[in-house]
Amino acid sequence: MRKKYQGEINDKQRSMGKLIDAVGEVIQTVGYTGLTPTNIARVAGLDRKLISLYFGSVNNLVETYVKSKDYWLAATGDASELMKHNKGEKTRQILESVLLNQLDYFYSNPEMQKIIVWQLSEQTDVMKQVCTEREKMSSSFFALSDKELEGRQVDLRATAAILVAGIYYLVLHAKTDNGLFCEIDINSEQGMDRIKAAVKTIVEGAYS
């Protein structure tokens, strides 16, 4: 029996892949403001009409790209796996691991840096959905930490929020200004180690 010709299907998949990859390249080189059909198609080397044909709109294409990258899941390391087997104990180690992994991943990932700037600069349905997914993971963790910290006077959510926001700002500052912040340079190994030590100290203090 002769195999059915798959050329058209394969061409479509290759073209979709090129368009998705092109979104990432545009974000890195131009930023979110450059996410136009013309720019994306030019980088992909394809006709811009294919964006509408395969994705319906540029927003759908960008959403597909952002979801495919799974930045926040990657940034949390093995936290999801650790939470699966946790019954509300030793959650400090999980939070500490998440924050330190987030610092390392965010610092080394230019695309995620651009995505965060986009999230802070403009309200879009794509970013709202991404934030919703991120909050789902946070809710899973805090449900566990609430069990461990029951009866203690500590607002772990507020503490974690300040730490996450601080990580984002320190990295963005270091990557754009390339200067000191509170006399610390996180572009240096020594500076990065100081920030990591401070994160551990703050988390430990919250639990104790």
Domain that holds residue 24: 7-68
- Least confident segment among 43-57, 103-117, 123-137: 123-137
Judgement on whether residues 93 and 163 belong to the same structural domain of the protein: yes
How many CA atoms are closer than 13 Å to the CA of 76, on its beta-carbon side?
19
Judgement on whether residues 95 and 191 belong to the same structural domain of the protein: yes
Distance CA 84, CA 102 (A): 19
Distance CA 17, CA 25 (A): 13
Structural domain includes residue 2: no
pLDDT tier at 9, thresholds 50, 70, 90: low
pTM of the shown model: 0.77
Judgement on whether residues 115 and 199 belong to the same structural domain of the protein: yes
Query: How many domains are there within the chain?
Result: 2
pLDDT tier at 178, thresholds 50, 70, 90: confident
Distance CA 148, CA 90 (A): 8
3 state SS of 42: helix
- Least confident segment among 86-100, 110-124, 136-150, 175-189: 110-124
Is residue 3 predicted with pLDDT exceeding 70?
no
Question: Tell me, what's the pLDDT at 17?
Answer: 92
Question: Averaging pLDDT over each range in 85-89, 98-102, 123-127, 162-166, which range is the top one?
Answer: 162-166
Distance CA 173, CA 181 (A): 8
Structural domain includes residue 1: no
Judgement on whether residues 33 and 98 belong to the same structural domain of the protein: no
Is residue 162 predicted with pLDDT exceeding 80?
yes
Is residue 42 predicted with pLDDT exceeding 90?
yes
pLDDT tier at 77, thresholds 50, 70, 90: low
pLDDT tier at 5, thresholds 50, 70, 90: very low
Question: Average pLDDT of 102-126?
Answer: 83
Residue whose token pair is 């754009």: 176
Q: Specify the CATH number for the domain of residue 52.
A: 1.10.10
- Eight-class DSSP state of 110: H
* High-pLDDT (> 90) share of the chain, %: 48
Judgement on whether residues 132 and 100 belong to the same structural domain of the protein: yes
Question: Average pLDDT of 98-106?
Answer: 91
Judgement on whether residues 108 and 183 belong to the same structural domain of the protein: yes
- Mean pLDDT over all residues of the chain? 86
The DSSP result for 122-179, as a single string, is ---HHHHHHHHHHHHHHHHHHHHHHHHTTTS---HHHHHHHHHHHHHHHHHHHHHT-S
Judgement on whether residues 83 and 149 belong to the same structural domain of the protein: yes
Judgement on whether residues 76 and 95 belong to the same structural domain of the protein: yes
